[in-house]
Amino acid sequence: MENYDNIYLEPGLKESITKLKNSMNAVIMAHSYQTHDVQSIADFTGDSLELARKAADTDADVIVFCGVDFMAESAKILSPSKTVLLPDTEARCPMAAMCDVQGLVDLKKQHPDAVVITYINSSAAVKAESDVICTSANAVKIVEHYKNRKIIFTPDKNLGSYCSEITGADIILWNGYCYVHDEFSTGDIYIAKHQHPGCLLLVHPESPREVLEHADFIGSTSQIIKFVEENASAMDEQAGVIIGTEIEIANTLQNRFPHKKIYPLAEHAVCRQMKKTTPEKVLKSLQSGTTEIFVEKSVRDKALGALKKMLELS
């Protein structure tokens, strides 16, 4: 947990959240793309699967998930007996919504021998129609395992394309994408490199191929953070990094390493859905139980099987 003591919150707000959270035996999880004020009230921060697994390992009765819909669903899949709350019902992942269950079922019928690998950024219902789940950190490893079979990869075409290029696998790509990463361009790189010469470019694999081709390092959010942590001591006055993922990662790393050169690839890299969550909405969620997330048992059981297969192969 980072030090966010300098983050301004309304007087008494953090104390009210903490008091109510403790009385309810609740735990607050905040995705790394959340603003610093939300991260400041969280018990844990990190990526979606990491947080869902941490929540399952706690003895909390209530999980407040500061993220988007599929993340709260993943937490419910791993913790069916716990109450899972999503503070803003409109915090929905556009990429997850790009893959519909019926469309995937139809595609599976067209390719009955294909294995379905689904990115964690997907609905519980889509996970339930999948053979195995992957994250941006382990996607290449999962695809490598099945590279001798035809693969349906959903929903992120950019991540799937990257995996195909690395492994040589024959992949049918679903036409989904993360708009934050898909909007990165070579123009953004040109501007960033001109403004910050000598800096390394670290890019998330949800980005388009032409952007990945210019990267010095390609990795998931957690891998990018780890790269900076492990190389911070070597980042002297002449060196630095440009972070090609959601802008909050660069902001957080700059907060942690204030004397290092850490820049976002582009100012437009903002996930508007993630920013819908606020500390005030977290308090209201605790007070009123809104919005509770439910996953049907039949869907949950099948989705859990796909998640367990990922863990088996990771």
**pTM for the full predicted model:** 0.94
The token duo for 155 is 């929903």
Range 119-141 average pLDDT: 97
The Cα 1–Cα 314 span in angstroms is 25
For the chain, what percent of residues have pLDDT higher than 70?
97
pLDDT tens digits along 155-213: 999 999 999 999 999 999 999 999 999 999 999 999 999 999 999 999 999 999 999 99
Residue whose pair of structure tokens reads 């470019």 in the numeric block: 201
- Asked if 29 contacts 57 with a C-beta cutoff of 8 angstroms, the reply is no
β-partners of residue 218 are: 203
The Cα 245–Cα 76 span in angstroms is 27
- Residue among 45, 30, 160, 49 nearest 91 (CA): 30
pLDDT tens digits along 252-284: 999 999 999 999 999 999 999 999 999 999 999
The Cα 61–Cα 94 span in angstroms is 29
pLDDT at 308 over 60: yes
Range 139-148 average pLDDT: 98
Q: Which CATH superfamily is domain 95-177 in?
A: NadA-like (3.40.50.10800)
CATH 3.40.50.1700 fits 13-90+273-294, yes or no: no
- Going from N- to C-terminal start, the domains of the chain cover 13-90+273-294, 95-177, 184-264
Q: Any idea what the Cα angle at residue 76 is, between residues 70 and 78, rounded to 5°? A: 105
The Cα 173–Cα 178 span in angstroms is 14
Query: pLDDT grade, residue 7 (50/70/90)?
Result: low
| Same fold for the pair 13-90+273-294 and 95-177 | yes
* Total Cβ atoms within 10 A of residue 296: 12
pLDDT at 150 over 60: yes
pLDDT at 309 over 80: yes
Given this model, what pLDDT does residue 8 score? 59
Task: Write the CATH number of the domain with boundaries 184-264.
Answer: 3.40.50.10800
More confident residue, 236 or 60: 60
The Cα 207–Cα 204 span in angstroms is 6
β-partners of residue 217 are: 202
Range 113-126 average pLDDT: 98
